[in-house]
């Protein structure tokens, strides 16, 4: 599995560099599923927050949405090298994608919430949060740290929450949108309710991660001692 994971990651990086080099995005997509779910959520005008784990080629999602006329805001953490952070911002900007780097500006999330309230579409990763924004959930029956930020922004803005993922297939990529995560905005005033919503989001991705386990690029220890993290087993055939 480790060898397959590294092979898939190498392909993912090569594809990303090709995209950033100007290869037309039309050459990349095999199928869409769930597009009507996004259209329904967007039509309500309360903003849409797209949530994804480090699965498949998440950077491809922005250009694919741009081709369909969707202006996207991407929430990201700073890269280890500030030059790489800027490179990512410039690359996304070519597609009209705005990058908000959290951790650099204390008011960044306030601006994102304002944009959601105005009807914007925002994307974020959920499975590798910084410690202040992490909350304990279960993944594959094991304790796991996920980002509570999606639930926090839902509470603050009333936005729609949609899970998305873009795995690499044999002949290209497939873009998938999961059914909307329902929530009671008033109940989200409780941290316990926000933790429960975060659990529901991670549970929805559990089967997806299992299906594409060799494309889950988490790359940090999760379970057990550092260096001996357990990997969830693939289902029996």
Q: How confident is the model at residue 223 (pLDDT cuts 50, 70, 90)?
A: confident
Which DSSP category does 190 fall into? Answer: S
Range of the domain at 100: 2-215
User: In the prediction, which pLDDT does 105 show?
Assistant: 59
Question: From CA 128, how far away is CA 219, in angstroms rounded?
Answer: 10
Between CA 48 and CA 116 the distance in angstroms is 7
- Higher pLDDT residue, 101 or 27? 101
Give tens-digit pLDDT for 92-138. Answer: 888 899 999 887 555 778 889 999 999 999 999 999 998 888 999 99
191-211 and 149-157 helices cross at what angle (nearest 10)? 130
Residue 223 included in any domain: no
Q: How far is CA 87 from the centre of its chain?
A: 19
Question: Does 185 fall in a domain?
Answer: yes
Q: CA 49, CA 123: separation in Å to the nearest integer?
A: 6
Tell whether 152 is covered by a domain: yes
pLDDT band, very low/low/confident/very high, at 228 (cuts 50, 70, 90): very low
User: Is residue 150 in some structural domain?
Assistant: yes
User: In total, how many domains does the chain have?
Assistant: 1
237 found inside a domain: no
Q: What is the pTM for the complete model shown? A: 0.89
**Tokens, residue 147:** 């980002």
Residue scoring higher pLDDT (64 or 236): 64
Check: CB of residue 151 under 8 Å from CB of residue 162: no
Q: Which of 212, 165, 175 is nearest to 67 (CA)?
A: 175
Whether 229 is in a domain gets the answer no
SS3 category, 139: strand
Q: Does some domain include residue 145? A: yes
Find out whether 66 and 97 touch, Cβ atoms under 8 Å: yes
């Amino acid at each position: 599995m480790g060898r397959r994971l590294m092979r898939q990651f190498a392909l993912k990086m090569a594809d990303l560099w090709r995209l950033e080099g100007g290869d037309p995005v039309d050459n990349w997509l095999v199928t869409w599923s769930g597009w009507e779910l996004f259209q329904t959520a967007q039509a309500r005008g309360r903003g849409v927050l797209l949530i994804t784990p480090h699965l498949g080629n998440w950077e491809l999602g922005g250009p694919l949405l741009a081709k369909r006329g969707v202006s996207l805001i991407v929430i990201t953490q700073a890269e280890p090298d500030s030059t790489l952070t800027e490179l990512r911002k410039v690359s996304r900007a070519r597609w009209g994608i705005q990058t908000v780097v959290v951790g650099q500006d204390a008011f960044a999330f306030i601006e994102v919430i304002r944009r959601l309230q105005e009807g914007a579409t925002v994307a974020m990763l959920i499975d590798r949060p910084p410690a202040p924004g992490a909350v304990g959930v279960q993944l594959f029956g094991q304790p796991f740290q996920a980002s509570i930020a999606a639930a926090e922004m839902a509470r603050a803005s009333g936005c729609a929450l949609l899970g998305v993922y873009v795995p690499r297939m044999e002949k290209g990529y497939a873009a998938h949108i999961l059914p909307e995560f329902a929530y009671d905005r008033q109940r989200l005033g409780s941290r316990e309710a926000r933790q429960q919503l975060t659990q529901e989001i991670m549970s929805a991705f559990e089967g997806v991660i299992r299906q594409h386990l060799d494309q889950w690029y988490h790359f940090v220890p999760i379970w057990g001692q550092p260096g001996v993290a357990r990997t969830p087993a693939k289902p029996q055939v």
